[in-house]
Structures are given as structure tokens and as C-alpha cells.
Structure 1
């Protein structure tokens, strides 16, 4: 058996899919996916599949839009200095660039400003606003930030600096007293779509200012929308779907240079290219230092400057990767030292880079699947942190009830940012644990995999995959569909990659389907070649030299049947120490316990069958041979319900199987020889017998021991003497002979048999496996 690492939630085929499939002329499976996304009506599904600019809502439906447009146009007409105040993530820098380009088209006098994460913190701050005002700025437009900066913005307004807030984050109870606030999530906003990214909000302002949607900025809008992980539905779907082809053209010198320097593949670009290619690199500048190079990269039209900026940003990204690895290792060490199964994780460290705490938190969530906060502390005890959540736990709502703990706090249901004093971290840890315990049942701490389709190998075709790809771009709210294939045989499996850390399999009987599992190479040795496997993954088309072939990108696998792994002869035995925590070592002969410890196994996992039984489900390793086959058969029979998979080591120090078994003719010849020369000194005659018959010394001693037990001969005064009137007995009457025969049978059955024969024997000892085998056999 091999457990899946997640809980699979398998969705049955939607009953409405058949009718929708007929109306749209698509497969029932594609129609099922549309129904799952709330598109059960033909009109809705058609709009989803053919999203275009007609889906855009009136920008003036946003509260505050009219006031904002009026004030900006007046500033432009009066040649006032306008400053775009942005944020340092991808959404923030793309919002800044789009707003600047909009003001450029209007002929405005403008500049932009992005605060430094490390010297100024998050969002608007009084020092920055005062500096901008001193330099002649009369109007500040915040983008992707500002909704939580009431104190700073209120002070600026009183000081004569007008502020327009454009933001998309959750609106706190106290809103800034700004000249205008454009945020679809504020309570009085009637806008029909609430899930815009910051750059999406800016696109609406640009639309209202220009009287036309800014199509030339769609690449920026796609970058920010996809990177910010907002739901890719409604307007966001249009931004991503129309923006990716715009991004393909690489009209921006900066993105062209970044692609070439970083080795980003494409065009064409996908949502994954943005999420794992452009996005992390544009984020890296603000995480490691100032986000200014990222804004400049998006705005520049000079190829030389673009090249220099791209080199700087790529260097930041490499530095970011190294920093993340270091902090993650230190955070893991803190957690391992606690040695507890915590409901939530709060870790903090001095000298940690506050720009990467969100990435580290995501890494810890991936490993432990717990709501997690990672805090970077400075020398004065001030902390800046990032929080990441799991399904079912609303971070923002839960922590908003305890804002007294924070200097600053804001974010979303699944992610948040915060500032906190070091002495309040224990209270935060206790508070978060209490909130989690009061919200989540125990099963919530195992991640779920939402499987939308169950397919057979034959149903996985390039035609189906291409049809499903029409639902792209995929993301939050429109996830890339996961499929499962159940109980299929493995034709071939192997490790691939330079580090042998990936898994490749071919599954199915006819026309095998290729499956690739990135970073799943460790499962190769946990899956037996003759197992039937259950797999979950994403559909993909492998294109090679003009040929197309369907494949599955594995996300999770499971084997639901009991497996037998042959590690006899010591092969691969030491590799099992890596899974020793979940492995019970069965030792029949206690003197082999020392050998098990020398192999690296912990004595806490040892079990001696003559003294104890299994009490919980576990994989088992038969380390050594039993003294009697009945010991093994009894153990299997009595413990079957707790045995998951079986590893067969069956080590033995001595062996009987390859010792030549003396025939009855051999026994007869030796008896005649002893009788002829008796009484005889064995030491004198042993070399003669060995030379004549080719027997080993052990064989001769064994045969004479049998004769002695049968009272055919006796040893007297160092000489062998033949009894004149021995009882007529079969060789089986000798305990030595019986023991030898049994040992040969044990070795022949357990140690030197074929894998298939051994598996058949072991399963025959277990009533449930035997019954299952008989049922399967009857069906043939």
C-alpha cells in the first residue's frame, strides 16, 4: 500500500453536463467542468469560453470614480504635479506603470514613488508624503495600496495634499478620509465584480479617464492580475485571456530583456509563465531591496537600459532564492526543536529578510499544512511578517479580531501582512492556535486534492486535452482540472532527471499512457512493478518533433493493495532506513537484532513475533528467516489486518539450501564404509572419504550425526563403532535430519524462490488475500 499525500475529493459527473454538451457541441467532460465553474446555462458558458471586451463593466459603477476622474482631470489641466504611489509586489509595480502610462497619454505632469520595504514599511507613510509635498506634489494617487492607511492619509489631506486611493484589499472598519476611494470591496460600492486586482482597479480608472479601455496596457494588467492570485473569472478572466497574447508580443523592452537573461521559455506565454517566470523575478526587486528597478523595467523603451535593469532584477532573484533557502532551514530547525504537532505555526528570527517571509510561510504551509506566520525581527525587537493560511481558515477575519497585537495588519482570507513587537509574538502564537483550534476539525490539517474528472487511459486523448484547454487561462476560481485514473497496471517506471528526483511511468494495458511526476522520484521505490496504481494529475500534451502525445503530470499517487518488496540478499535494505519511522522490523531470531541496529534501524521499531503482535497498521520488514515456517504463517494469519506492505529481507548467517543434500545412496555408502573399517578414527578416514566422494567436512559430520541419533553408530574412545543390532529407522527419525530438511524448505520457500512464488506463498498465509486471489482466479 502507498497512501496518497492528500485527501482526494472526487467529483461525480454533473447531471446537467449532458444537455450543456449537446448545446455547446463539446464533450460531456468539458461541459461538466463548465458546470463546476457555475456555467450550467448555455449563455453563461458561451461567454466564459468566448470572453471578450463586452464583459467589462462600466468603470463609473465604482464608488468614488466620478470624484477621482474630476480631480485628476483638473490637475492635468492646471499642470499640477501628480505622483503615483505604488506597492512593491508585481501587482503594485504593474499598477504603477499602468497609471503612469495613463497620465502620460493625458499629458499630465507626473512622477511615481514606491516605498522601500525595509526603510519605510508597507503602504503610505507620512515622511514620504511630506517629501512629495515639499517637492511640489499636490495630488497623490495610490495604487494597490492605501485602504488601511487612514492615519497617514487623513494627516496629508489636512496638510493640503489631496489623496486618491485605488486599492483592492479588504476594507478595514475605518476608511481613510481621502478625496476619493476606489475599491470594489468598500461597503458602499455597487460595482458588480469585487475580485479585481490592484492593476484591475487602475485599469478601470484609466478607462474612465481616457473614455476607452487601455488595450495597450493589457500585458501589464495580465501580469498583475495573474501574479496577485485573484479569481480568474468575470473581468479578471478577460484581463488574463486577452493580456497573455499581448504579453507574447514583448512590446516592452524590459520584458524582452528579462525573458532573454532569465531563460524564460516562450512566447507563447501562459499563466504559468507569469506565475513562475516573470512574476517571481519582478517581485524579487522589492523583496531584496527597492522595487524601483521593476517599475523602471516596465516603463523603459531604451533597450540598453532594459538590459541593465533586467540584469539587476535577475541578480535580485538569485539572491532571493538563496535567502529563502537559508531562512526556511532556520525556521524548520525551530519547529523541529519544538517537537510538537502544532495547530498553527508562528516562527520569528532576527536578521531574517522581511521581503521573503511570505515565500517562507508558503513553504512551511506546503510542508506542514498549518496556518503559518513568519516574522523577521530587527535589532530593536520590531517585527515584520507574512501570514499564509489553509482551506477553511480565514486569516483576515480571525486576526482582525486581535488588531491590538499589531502595529499594522492587512490582507486577505488566505494571506496577510503584519507588523508586531517581539514581546507580543507569544500572545500572537497562543491567539492563532486558539483561533485555529476553534475553527478547524482535525481532518482539515490534511490537504485536499479536488479531482474534477475520473477517466480511463483510453479516454485521455489529445482531442479531449485541447478541448479542455479552451477553459484557460487557469488560476484561482478557474483551477486547472485535475483528473484521476483508477487501478491501472504499470507497464514501466523509472527515475529521471540529472538528480534522479523525478518519476516517469507508463500505465495501462493497451497504448500505455505516459505519466511524469516532478520531484516524485522518491516514490519509485515505494511502488512495486506489479502493483495497480491510482493516480491524480493534470492533463498535458507532450509535443516532440512535430508529434503530439497525451500525458499526465502527476500530482499524487496511491496504491490501495498490499505490496511485496523483494530486498533479499541485503539489496536496497539500507535504503529502507529512510522510511524506518513507518516500518516495523520483524525479527524471528533475537541474535539478529544487533545486525538490524548495524543496518541503521531503530530498536524502537523492532517486533519479536514470539512475544508480541502488531497493534496498528504498518509496513513490515521481515529481517531474518524464521526457525520454523509455522512461525511465519501464524504471524501473517494473526496480524493480517495490520499489515500494509511487506518487505522481504530474510537474512540468514548460515545456509542449508546450497549445501549438497546427501542422497539415501550416499548415506548407504557411508554406512557400509564405516562398518567395513570400524572401529575407525574419523580424523584418519575423513580425508579419504572427502576425496573419494567429493563431500565437504560439514557434509560428512552431518551424516555421521544422523547415524549417531539413529543409533547406527556410536563414538567410543575417539573411535566410531557400528552397533551390531541397530533398530530399523528412517532418516526422518533423526532430529538433525528433520531440522536440516526444514531449514532447506524454509530457505527454498523464502530465500531462494522467485518473487512471484514468494508473493504467492505470503498471500496464501493471509485469509483475506487468499480469498481475494481465489475470487480473481475464478473470474478468469
Structure 2
């Protein structure tokens, strides 16, 4: 299990939050979240919170867009044969769909090709390019790929075929010699939103070609943007926000059928529905089958045909889930065998190649280590593999130096794909184990994550969700705010899911509770059972049978630092308060410890056969019983700071038959006024005064002693009379201060439950 150190993203003061909220006309929750994300400029705040279609940027800011439009216009006008070459993930499928629908709106009849993950691999494939060329195409438009296809594109150019590359991936050292390269981060002409997805780039081309009519396609661009985990900043926020609004209009027949199958309520659709329901189903097509059916689904106008594809997609996605779960469980024995390895290399047992990346990712999350998941490919006779690595370890750098071992290799810092001869895999496994140390990556160190809000369960409500959602859409670059609940407990824990690995529970404090669910967290929850926890998660709404309930989506559960201290102190301290202690029980201890001389002297005269010591003596390594209670907490605090006993039983005996008296200011004033207005009251007749005022006699004696010390009253010939004293404070009375100290002792050492007592002790105890 990966350990997590949670740190607050930023921790503005209450004054800073209040000032920001007042100046920017937002509430304090929104103010805090904006400050934490560094969004403080007025125009930036307005754009971030209220992004709309008017903020779509001029598409002609993209590199070579004018050239691309001229080539497309010419091809359409001359009825040339146009082919679209896409990619098999959700971004590639939506990019292909946007380009296809755009060209159709212009009157063209394009063909499209989505590569097969297993036959064609990622990106431009020369054999497929040859096939398209042989079909007589005049123009090839790549979407979500192509910028690394220098050799393949040269082949088409040599055959007289025009090529437009539209892509967003990292640029190679040498760009292909295409007729136009539409890319948001070409050096020297970077677009205002350089982190567009492939679908985002395709949409910008549609925008330039179709104008306002292109907005009918922005919902597809939103899917690609969320699915490809690009930064949800700038124009990407506009694309997702407006795209979600467009989805509610039910414009695309196939997308509407897919949304129905996902059981998404259109009026409430959000980016999480795309990320967790829509995109995974589209991605599943490319993982297990051919993603071309995804393009057919998103571009068809035939509802019956769309339903057929959606049903097939649902079956494929369910199969994908089963394959991932099976492979992940199967991998556990290999993971355990490699517990001392810095890099985990897994060999599939008939794993499907399409899920290797997901398996590697899940194992990486579980172990916080780089992971290579491989499977023997019978068709090619080599091992196919996919790798994933945590932040802080560059997988591409680690593997690139061993490139001679691979028959194919590519990727980036956190993900890669490769092919390798089976005979070379053991050698690679041995070599990569040195890479974490070379890169200074400590896989045993806790992962540092950020949370945003310190709240209590009472703070969680539907209005808070509305406040948080003002910052939506959430994703890369704008994570959903994580809430921390401190010192709460888990109640009614139960396992759910096919394999029982998921957690369903209540998070509660003394007065409130909230439903919570943690995926893959049931085992972790058992480790914090019955202990106060710090809980981290995102607030959401769970709708069931027409009812909406708050729900916390758990990210982590940790025994709170205070609870850890209490658990540690329970190994040292024993609660003997309110117990009957006989001589035989006391003799089981090495020593009895005393705070008061009277008890100490009396005990020494008893027949108890055990060593008796004062609280400031040494008893290191012994088992002791603290017999009596101190008269003030300072004495006990000093005792805790030096107590090196192995075990300490807390008895805290006293001869008082009732709790210490709490000074009552109102009663003190009543008594003083009575003494001032009544003469000839003898000190030995105070029992009559107490009875008349309905006070306890002990209270009257205590108050009178305080009055004498402060010179509020004086004794004249046995009578209590008013004194001519100056204004004085109660704290100037030794008797009053002693009483307050004794009350603190009573409240903290005697009346508190044992956990609360240990919590207080932890601030002073030398064991903490």
C-alpha cells in the first residue's frame, strides 16, 4: 500500500480569505480555492468562473491553419478523394468524428481509417498509408497523430498526395514535410492554448471552416479534451463547459444513445460523467476491438444502428473490466515476489494486450513503483509491453538507454509502449533495477498529495457542492478540491463490489455523519478500524430512487496523529481511576508515587509492602502506580515530561467526597452584597446565612475566605464588616487561584474519559 503525505495546497489566513472574498465578490470557500490555484486577477477570475462561447479563440492563430483551409477548400471544390487517419483512443475517435462530420457538412464524402492497436500500432503506419494511396486518395488529413510520421508522410508526398497533419503531441526534432501542420505548440507560433487535445485541434479547424455551425461538434471535442487528460485551463475550459451544454441538446444520435446506456441524467451531465463513463467505453473499443465503430457511432444519424453499436460497446467495456480485474489479481503473486525491486516487471499469463497499460497503471498506484506489464504476442513472436511510472521517475529516460534490447519502443516520461524478444526480457529486468537509484527516486518514500479544505462534517452540505462546482470543470491542472476531515471515525464498514475490495461506510463525529465510498479501500479501512482518523476525499451527490444524498468519495484514510499518540500512550499508561485498590494489588507494582506529603507519610505507616516514592524521584524502567492526585496541573505536566517508567497506573486517590467547587461569580456577588447590607453577622453564624441564601455551607466558607484575602470584608470583635478596600481582581486571592487549579485537576485528570486524558497528556509526555 502506498503511503501518502497530505499537504495543504496553500494555506491563506482567514483575514486573507475574507479580504479576497470581499474584493472579488465571491464567498469565502470560492475565495480560498481561487487563491490556492493562483487565480487572483479580476479578468482571470471572471474567465475561470464564467467561461462561455464568446471566449473561444480565433482559430487562425494556429500554425498553418490558413494553408490547411486552402487545401481543404480546393479538395472539396474539386471533389477530390479525402481520407482521415485517426487514432484508437477516445481523443483519436472524437477527432476523427469531428473531422468527418465537418467535411460532410462542406459536401465532401471522406473515408476514414482508425489504426488497429494490435496490427498497426500507434501513429502513422506505412503499410496503411500505402493501402490508402492505392485507393486513389488525393488528400490525407491526420487527426491526433502524424507529427512524428516523417518517413510515412514523405512516402505519400512522393506519390503526389497532399497531407495535412493535425496533432497536439510532443514535437520531434524534425517535422514531417507535410503541406500543412496544424499544431498548437509549433515554436515561434505557439497558440494561445498550447495544451489543446487532438479533438480540440480538430474542433478549431471545424470552427474556421464552419463558423457558428461548428458548435454542433463541440460536445465531441469536450469528450476528447477530458479523455486525454490535457490541462483544463484557458480555452480547454470553454470547450468542456460549452460542450457539456451542447450534449444536453441531444444533437448527436449515437452520443445520445451512449449517454442513455451510461444512465447519465442529461440535465446534470458533467466532466466526471465523461471521464468515468463515456470515455472509458470509447477507449474500450480500441483496447479490445477496432475503434472504427466508435467513429461510426458518433457520426451516424441512424438511431437503430447507434443502439446496435452502443450495445456492442457495452459488452466490450464489460469484457475490458473483467480482463483488467483478472490480470490485476493474477499479477499480485509476481508483485509480492518483487517486493524488493525498484521496478516491477510483469509477465502476463494470457493477458489481453489491450489492457496491459491499465494493469501497469493500477499496479503503479498500488506500489508507487514504475511498472512494465508484458504479454507474449503469438502473431509477432515477441513480448508486447506497456509501462507506467509515478511522478518523479522518468520511464522514457530509464528505458531509452537500453533501446538496443527492444524491437520497438516509444513513449514519454510517465508512459511507454514497447516490443522485446522474450529472451531479452530477463536482461532488461535486471538492468532497469538500477534506474530508480540513478534518478534519485525513492519508491519507499510516501507520495506527497495536496488537499484544499479543512472542514468538519457539519460543514458538508449541498450549498458547499454548489460553491465548489463554480470552479468546474475539474481535471488536469484544476483538480477537484479535496476535503480533510480530522479526528472522525468509520462506522458500519462493509465491503462491496465483485471482489469485495471496495469500501462502503459512514464517516462520523460526535454529532454528524456522512455516507462515504472508497474504491479499493476496504482492506485499508480494516487497519484504521476503531481509531480516530483523518479522512481525505471529494464531496459528491449520490442519487438513488429519486433521492439525492451527500457522499464523500474517499482518497485516503489515516489514523490521526493524535490517535497514534493515544495508542502509543496506552502501552505505557493504565486507567486505575475509580477502581478499588487493595494492598495486594498495590504490591504488584514496583513503586507507589505520591504528590502530597500527607498521603505519602500516611502510606509509609501502612502495612503495604511496596516501595513508596515522591513524584520527583527516579523510577525509570519500573512499573508504578500514581496513588494520589496533584493539586495543580503544572506538577503533573513536569512529572509527564520525565516519567520513564515502563508502565504507569493512574489511580489519583483523594479524600474529597465530592468534586472540587467551581467559583460562581453571581453567587459571590450575592453573598458580598448581603454582607454589606447586614450588620452584626458573626463568622460562626455563617451556616444561617448559607441556609437563608440557599447556598452550600462549603461555598460560603470558600467565598468568605476569598473576601478576607482581597480585603473586601474584615473582622471586628467577631463580626464580619465591610472593609474600605480598593478595587481588586479575584486572581489576587491565593485561595481563589488554588481553587481554580484544583478544578482544572478535577476536570482533566478525574472527570475526562481515558482517551481525552491521554490526548491532553500527549502534549507533555516524554514518550510522544
Query: Quick check: 1:230 aligned with 2:238?
Result: no
Query: In structure 2, what is the equivalent of residue 120 of structure 1?
Result: 120
Instruction: Decide whether aligned partners of structure 1 residues 222 and 411 sit closer, same or farther in structure 2, where only a CA change above 3 A counts.
Output: farther
CA distance in 2, matches of 1:495, 1:171: 49
Judge conservation of contact 1:495–1:502 (CA < 8 Å) in 2: yes
Partner of 2:172: 172
Query: Residue 284 of structure 2 corresponds to which residue in structure 1?
Result: 284
Q: Is the 8 A contact 2:102 2:206 kept in 1?
A: yes
SS at match of 1:157: helix
Q: What is the alpha-carbon distance in structure 1 between the residues aligned to residue 424 and residue 209 of structure 2? A: 46
Question: Residues 318-717 of structure 1 correspond to what in structure 2 (within 5 A)?
Answer: 318-337=318-337, 339-349=338-348, 351-379=350-378, 380-396=380-396, 399=399, 404-426=404-426, 428-429=428-429, 432-442=432-442, 445-488=445-488, 490=489, 492-495=491-494, 497=496, 501-523=502-524, 525-527=526-528, 529=530, 531-541=531-541, 550-559=550-559, 560-561=561-562
How far does residue 542 in structure 1 lie from its aligned partner after superposition? Answer: 5.3
- Deviations, residues 466-525 of structure 1 (Å, cap 9, x unaligned): 11111111111110000112224x484443657595232242334445544444344554
Measure, in 2, the Cα distance between the counterparts of 1:163 and 1:329.
46
Aligned mates of 1:465, 1:241 — CA distance in 2: 17
Determine if contact 1:4/1:556 at 8 Å carries over to the other structure.
no
Q: 1:291 to 1:541 in 2, by over 3 A?
A: closer
CA distance 1:539–1:138, shift in 2 (3 Å): same
Deviation at 1:65, TM superposition (A): 1.7
Match of 1:133 in 2: 133
Residue deviations 1:633-667, cap 9 Å, x none? Answer: 85999xx9999xxxxxxxxxxxxxxxxxxxxxxxx
Kindly state the Cα deviation for residue 332 of structure 1 after the two structures are TM-superposed.
Answer: 3.1
Which residue of structure 1 aligns with residue 196 of structure 2?
A: 196
Which position in structure 2 is the counterpart of 1:744?
A: none
Report the alpha carbon displacement of residue 340 of structure 1 after superposing the two structures with TM: 3.5
Inter-CA distance 167–421: structure 2 relative to 1 (3 Å threshold): farther
- Superposition deviation, residue 211 in structure 1: 4.1
Return the offset for 1:457.
Answer: 3.4
- Aligned pair in 2 of structure 1 residues 37, 293: CA closer, same or farther (>3 Å)? same
2:414 and 2:279 map into 1 onto residues whose CA distance is 19
Distance 1:368 1:172, change over 3 A: same
Give the CA deviation at 1:564. 12
Bigger mean CA offset, 283-292 vs 315-324: 315-324
Counterpart Cα distance in 1 of 2:375 and 2:208: 41
Aligned with 1:219: secondary structure? helix
C-alpha distance in structure 2 between counterparts of 1:642 and 1:310, whole Å: 70
- Offset of 1:169 from its aligned partner? 1.1
Q: 1:527 to 1:402 in 2, by over 3 A?
A: closer
Give SS of 2:470's match: helix
Structure 1 residue 140: Cα displacement? 0.5
Question: 1:149 deviation in Å?
Answer: 2.0
Residues 393 and 59 of structure 1: CA distance in aligned 2, closer, same or farther (over 3 Å): farther
Relative distance call for 1:72 and 1:421 in structure 2 (3 A) is: farther
Runs of 4+ in 1 over 6 A off after TM superposition: 544-548, 563-566, 640-643, 773-776
- Provide the secondary structure at the position in 2 that maps to 1:442: coil
- Partner Cα separation in structure 1 for residue 477 and residue 528 of structure 2: 34
Alpha carbons of structure 1 residues 440 and 492: separation in structure 2 relative to 1, 3 Å: same
Distance 1:491 1:220, change over 3 A: closer
Q: Is the 8 A contact 1:63 1:188 kept in 2?
A: no
**What is the deviation of 1:83?**
0.4
2: distance between equivalents of 1:524 and 1:348?
30
| Aligned-partner Cα distance in 2 for 1:444–1:186 | 39
CA distance in 1 between partners of 2:267 and 2:364 (Å): 32
- Structure 2-normalised TM-score? 0.69
Report the TM-score, using the length of structure 1 for normalisation: 0.68
Indicate if the aligned counterparts of 1:405 and 1:424 stay in contact, CA closer than 8 A. yes
CA RMSD of aligned residues (A): 3.9
Moved more, 449-458 or 377-386: 377-386
Residue segments in structure 1 that go unaligned for 5+ positions in a row:
567-584, 586-629, 644-756
Report if the CA contact (8 A) 2:5-2:446 is conserved. Answer: yes
Show the 5 A alignment for 1:257-296.
257-264=257-264, 266-296=266-296
Matched positions, count = 593
Q: CA separation in 1, counterparts of 2:183 and 2:417? A: 19
Pair 161,31 (structure 1): closer, same or farther in 2 beyond 3 Å: same
Contact 2:2/2:368 (<8 A) preserved: no
Equivalence for 2:48: 48
List per-residue Cα deviations over 1:670-714 (Å, max 9, x = no partner): xxxxxxxxxxxxxxxxxxxxxxxxxxxxxxxxxxxxxxxxxxxxx
SS where residue 110 of structure 2 aligns? strand
Residues 697-750 of structure 1: CA deviation (Å, up to 9, x unaligned):
xxxxxxxxxxxxxxxxxxxxxxxxxxxxxxxxxxxxxxxxxxxxxxxxxxxxxx
Change over 3 Å in CA distance of 1:147–1:633 after alignment to 2: farther
Q: Could you tell me which residue of structure 1 aligns to residue 8 of structure 2?
A: 10
Q: Is residue 80–residue 109 contact of structure 1 (8 Å, CA) maintained in 2?
A: no
Classify the secondary structure of the residue corresponding to 1:509: coil
- Alpha carbons of structure 1 residues 464 and 260: separation in structure 2 relative to 1, 3 Å: closer
Alignment map for 1:154-165 (pairs within 5 Å)? 154-165=154-165
Question: Any conservation in 2 of the 1:372–1:389 contact (CA below 8 Å)?
Answer: yes
For the 8 Å contact 2:393–2:441, the answer to whether it is kept is: no
Give 1:80 shift. Answer: 0.6
Query: For residues 47 and 515 of structure 1, what CA distance do their matches in structure 2 show?
Result: 33
Aligned mates of 1:636, 1:439 — CA distance in 2 = 54
**SS of residue matched to 1:109:** coil
Aligned equivalents of 2:152 and 2:267: distance in 1? 43
Segment of structure 1 superposing worse, 131-140 or 434-443: 434-443
Shift of the alpha carbon at 1:230? 0.9
Q: In the superposition, relative to structure 1, how do residues 187 and 412 fare at CA in structure 2: closer, same or farther (>3 Å)?
A: farther
Whole-Å separation in 2 of the counterparts to 1:127 and 1:11: 49
The alpha-carbon deviation at position 26 of structure 1 amounts to 1.9
CA contact (8 A) 1:198 1:224 kept: yes
- Structure 1: distance between partners of 2:69 and 2:86: 18
Most deviating of 356-365 and 265-274:
265-274
SS for the counterpart of 1:437 is: helix
2-structure distance, mates of 1:517, 1:564 = 26
Q: Is contact 2:94-2:223 (8 Å) kept?
A: yes
C-alpha displacement of 1:546 = 7.8
* Structure 1 contact 396–415 (Cα < 8 Å) conserved: yes
* Aligned position for 1:578: none
Contact 2:566 2:762 in 1 (8 A): no
- For residues 184 and 397 of structure 2, what CA distance do their matches in structure 1 show? 18
SS of equivalent residue, structure 2 residue 239:
helix
Query: SS state of the match for residue 475, structure 2?
Result: coil
Q: Retained in 2: the 8 A contact 1:352–1:376?
A: yes
Is the contact made by 1:528 and 1:564 (CA closer than 8 Å) also made in structure 2? no
Give 3-state SS (helix, strand or coil) of 2:322's partner: helix
Give distance in 1, aligned partners of 2:203 and 2:566.
59
Question: Displacement, 1:290?
Answer: 0.9
Aligned-partner SS, 1:107: coil
Q: Cα–Cα, structure 1 residues 526 and 207, in superposed 2: closer, same or farther, change >3 Å?
A: same
Three-state SS of the structure 2 residue aligned to 1:502 is: strand
2:368–2:443 Cα contact (<8 Å) kept:
no
Native 8 Å contact 1:451 1:482 kept in 2: yes
Q: Quote the Cα distance in structure 2 between the aligned partners of 1:273 and 1:20.
A: 32
- Superposition deviation, residue 238 in structure 1: 0.9
SS at match of 1:137: coil
Deviations 1:254-291 (A, max 9, x none): 22333344545555222121111111111111111211
- Is 2:102 the counterpart of 1:102? yes
Deviation of 1:773 after TM superposition, in Å, equals: 7.6
Query: Residue 221 of structure 2 corresponds to which residue in structure 1?
Result: 221
Secondary structure in structure 2 of the residue aligned to 1:471: coil
